[in-house]
Amino acid sequence: MTEKHDIVIVGGGPAGLAAAVAAYDAGVTDVVIIDREEAPGGVLRQCIHNGFGLHKLGRELTGPEYAAVYAAEAVKRGIRILRETMVTAVSPDREVTACSREGILKIEAGAVILAMGCRERSRGALNIGGTRPAGIFSAGTAQRLINCEGYMVGKKAVILGSGDIGLIMARRLTLEGAKVEAVCELMSYSGGLTRNIVQCLEDFDIPLYLSTTVKEIHGRDRLTGVTVVAVDESRRPVPGTERYIECDTLLLSCGLIPENELSLAAGIPLDTITGGALVDERRETEIPGIFACGNVLQVHDLVDYVSDEAELAGRSAAAFVRGEISQEKTVTVSAEKGIRYCLPQRVHTDAGKTELYMRVAAPAERVKIVARDGERVLLEANRRRVAPGEMEKITLTPEMISGAEEIRVSLEAWK
């Protein structure tokens, strides 16, 4: 069976929902969202803590509440959401193939928005030595088991990785009666938001060991303990610093990987740093009519920014369907000294006000983000402190972009 729709959105998480609503409000009403889960909302359905929506909605909500706001907006507009339906292929000419209990569905789409989110890095990808007992979970799996399924994962835990999910789960386990012995972080700084370090670790006296990793896993049927070890600046274990911690649970919070298998199969070029598609200021990938937004494009720290980005992608897809696309040339945006990546990676010379999102390579104080075109300084933005866990953004005006040849962004000392 082949259907035709103006816009097909792959993924019904916060990104997919916000993109659908924005596309609809921009005048393209034939929008379909496809999600493999039984309900829309994506990962937010398992994030039952608060802290969502302060920036976007002006109030503090839990994850499911935040997702419900956008799901209700989609339903109000009559946007079709196909649940328990897995997209298995997207072709470069925008044919979307999906399967569900009803069978295989093919849709010819005017535009496609990719909003598939991320998955977590697993133990297999981390190469930790030792046995393979029960009791080792990715932090997100433990979050789902505890918050959605009602299962407690253990009594004494060590958490490897201090990204936001690890920090949130340290607090969650403590509130559920477990003892979190340690959060270990390979880097010399935490990858999480400062507010989460304070509210999830410091408020609960949970120790954070920086420059430390798990070297070995012990236990036969169930985990009995882990050996942790300090690492040097090159992240190599320092001999003699090994320490055994008794625990029955190890949570891994060691990074998110954008789910871009569909994008790769469609031939969409990806950025080696973000793991997401290379996009322009409208969030259009290098394949015309295919857009990307949310965590599948870049790992966001706050869902509020996911919604902002998705709304932009939704409006852009609507413009594409109406044939309103820029014919102007694009200039490259590149990240230099001190900046890990910058997104979008290219901007049309007739772009309006454009926000550049970026992450710094390492924590720093009293620095400025500088955007240059050749030797010409376009913009300088001072920051008292920056950290890789917190996304930065600067705004370029149309005047800065219109005559530029190549925009380069770097981090410099602020004297």
Ligand X SMILES: Cc1cc2nc3c(=O)[nH]c(=O)nc-3n(C[C@H](O)[C@H](O)[C@H](O)COP(=O)(O)OP(=O)(O)OC[C@H]3O[C@@H](n4cnc5c(N)ncnc54)[C@H](O)[C@@H]3O)c2cc1C
Q: Of 294-333, which residues contact ligand X (CB under 6 A)?
A: 294-296, 300, 302-303, 306
Contact pattern for ligand X over residues 243 through 282, marking x by CB under 6 A: -------------x--x--x--------------------
Q: Tell me, letter by letter, the H, E, C secondary structure of the chain.
A: CEEEEEEEEECCCHHHHHHHHHHHHCCCCCEEEECCCCCCCHHHHHCCCEEECCCCCCCCEEHHHHHHHHHHHHHHCCCEEECCCEEEEECCCCEEEEEECCEEEEEEEEEEEECCCEEECCHHHCCCEECCCECEEEHHHHHHHHHHHCCCCCCEEEEECCCHHHHHHHHHHHHCCCEEEEEECCCCCCCCCHHHHHHHHHHHCCCEECCEEEEEEECCCECCEEEEEEECCCCCECCCCCEEEECCEEEECCCEEECCHHHHHCCCCECCCCCCECCCCCCECCCCCEEECHHHCCCCCCHHHHHHHHHHHHHHHHHHHCCCCCCCCEEEEEECCCEEEEECCEEECCCCCEEEEEEECCCEEEEEEEEEECCEEEEEEEEEEECCCCCEEEEECHHHHHCCCEEEEEEEECC
Contact pattern for ligand X over residues 64 through 93, marking x by CB under 6 A: ----------------------xx------
Minimum Å gap between C-beta 201 and ligand X is 15
Minimum Å gap between C-beta 106 and ligand X is 14
Among 5, 20, 32, 42, binds ligand X (CB under 6 A): 42
Minimum Å gap between C-beta 414 and ligand X is 29
Minimum Å gap between C-beta 403 and ligand X is 34
Q: Of 21-40, which residues contact ligand X (CB under 6 A)?
A: 34-37
Among 53, 117, 163, 276, binds ligand X (CB under 6 A): 117
**163 contacts ligand X (rule: CB under 6 A):** no
Contact pattern for ligand X over residues 188 through 227, marking x by CB under 6 A: ----------------------------------------
Among 105, 116, 270, 333, binds ligand X (CB under 6 A): 116
Minimum Å gap between C-beta 138 and ligand X is 7
Interface residues with ligand X (CB under 6 A)?
A: 10-16, 34-37, 42-44, 47, 86-87, 115-118, 120, 140, 143, 164-165, 168, 256, 259, 262, 294-296, 300, 302-303, 306
